[in-house]
Each structure stands twice: as C-alpha cells, then as structure tokens.
C-alpha cells in the first residue's frame, strides 16, 4: 500500500542528484509527510534546496533513460554470450529490471572487466579498480562506477565479489552509445590480458 524510493536511482533519470519519493494510499503518504516535516503541515512545507527543477527533469527523462539502460544490458548480454560466457538474463529473455549478471569464471577476468568498464566512464576513467575489503562483505569486492552521482544505479556500473562463481553484476547506462563503448573496452581489456575466451 506504500512505496518509497530514491531519485538517484532509476526514477531520477540520471539527472536528480538527491531526493526521494513516496507513493501509495493517500492516508499513508500523508502520515509519512507528517513524520518527515511536522504534523498539520506535511508535504505543504519542506526544504527543496533549489532542486525542484532537476527532480522534475529527472522524472520526465526517466522512462527514456531506463530504456537506454535496458538496451545496454541487452547489448552486454549478447556480446558476452557471443564470447561464450554465462549471462543472466540472456539477451532475448524477458527482463524485469536493469541488472545483468555475467559469469566471468575467474578473478582475473572479473577485475579486467571492471577495469574496462571504468576506463570508458565519463568520470574517473583514469582510475584502475582493484579488489578491496569493502565493509559489509565477506570477500574482496571490485567496483567500477565512473558516475556523475555517487550511488546512482541508473549510471553504468559493474561490481563483483572476488569469489566463486565469479559473477559481475552490471546495471545502468545513461545512454546506449556510452555503455556500448564501455562494454567493448571491457572486452578489449580482457583480450589484452589474454583472458577473453
């Protein structure tokens, strides 16, 4: 009866740098608004910090941006399935979200893949992701996310725990062309290191 989410995820279209949403039954949304601000005033007041324009733009662009992320996931799935890797979902299967998993079979391939994704990113493309002991994980993790907004899941990112079965999880892509470039750079990075099948 109630849903809440972050606008730095899909619903913000890659434009919103902050904010969230609550939707559902009127009385429940109203209770949340009263809890967020003050009883009696609810959603009629509150600090927006000058972000309303980007929040509305993000909501407006979100359907197109999510479409680009889905198209990117299909491309990555098809490309790496062509190379002989296990992908879930397959490029021609029904999708229920923007996440693509990719079985890379060994730690070296996981790291090379993430490094290739990072190298085509719009931010921090010079950074070389390396596995590290990230809090909350029981194994080392490698992450690629050259994103404009930290934590955004609609911007292309790839991450993987360094443990069997050596799967990377890829999501996002603000536009198909840049995500396609990153996927090709990831494959090239693996090829350059003699890791591509």
pLDDT digits (tens, 9 = 90+) for 171-190: 999 999 999 999 999 999 99
- Alpha-carbon gap, residue 122 to 138, rounded angstroms: 30
For residues 161-180, average pLDDT: 97
Domains for the chain: give ranges and CATH numbers: 2-56 (no CATH), 62-192 (3.90.1150.60)
Contact 7, 20 (CB under 8 A): yes
Band (197; pLDDT cuts 50, 70, 90): very high
Predicted structure pTM score: 0.90
Per-residue buried b or exposed e for 168-188, using 16+ beta carbons within 10 Å of the residue's own CB = bebbbbbbbebbbbbbebbbe
Residue 39 predicted with pLDDT over 90: no
How far CA 43 is from CA of 39, 64, 122, in Å, comes to: 10, 28, 36
Helix residue ranges, H only, the chain: 26-36, 52-82, 107-119, 176-192
Residue 46: predicted pLDDT: 73
Listed range (9-13, 161-165, 174-178) with the worst mean pLDDT: 9-13
| Mean of pLDDT over the chain | 95
- Alpha-carbon gap, residue 72 to 118, rounded angstroms: 15
Residue 38: predicted pLDDT: 77
Q: What is the pLDDT of residues 88-118, one digit of tens each?
A: 999 999 999 999 999 999 999 999 999 999 9
Q: Tell me if residue 34 falls in helix, strand or coil.
A: helix
- Alpha-carbon gap, residue 117 to 109, rounded angstroms: 12
Band (45; pLDDT cuts 50, 70, 90): confident
Q: Tell me if residue 159 falls in helix, strand or coil.
A: strand
- Write out the DSSP string of 41-86: TGGGS---TT-HHHHHHHHHHHHHHHHHHHHHHHHHHHHHHHTT-E
């Amino acid at each position: 009866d109630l849903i809440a989410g972050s606008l730095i995820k899909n619903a913000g279209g890659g434009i919103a740098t902050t904010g969230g949403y609550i939707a559902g039954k009127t009385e429940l949304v109203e209770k949340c608004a009263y809890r967020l601000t003050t009883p009696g005033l609810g959603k009629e007041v509150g600090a927006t910090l000058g972000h309303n324009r980007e929040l509305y733009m993000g909501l407006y662009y979100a359907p197109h941006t999510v479409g680009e992320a889905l198209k990117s996931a299909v491309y990555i799935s098809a490309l790496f399935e062509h190379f002989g890797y296990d992908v879930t979902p397959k490029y021609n299967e029904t999708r229920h979200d923007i996440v693509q998993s990719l079985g890379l079979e060994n730690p070296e391939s996981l790291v090379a893949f993430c490094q290739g994704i990072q190298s085509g990113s719009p931010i921090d493309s010079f950074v070389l992701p390396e596995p590290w002991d990230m809090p909350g994980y029981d194994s080392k993790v490698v992450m690629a996310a050259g994103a404009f907004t930290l934590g955004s899941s609609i911007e292309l990112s790839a991450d993987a725990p360094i443990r069997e079965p050596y799967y990377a999880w890829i999501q996002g892509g603000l536009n198909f062309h840049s995500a396609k470039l990153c996927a090709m750079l990831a494959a090239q990075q693996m090829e350059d290191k003699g890791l591509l099948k």
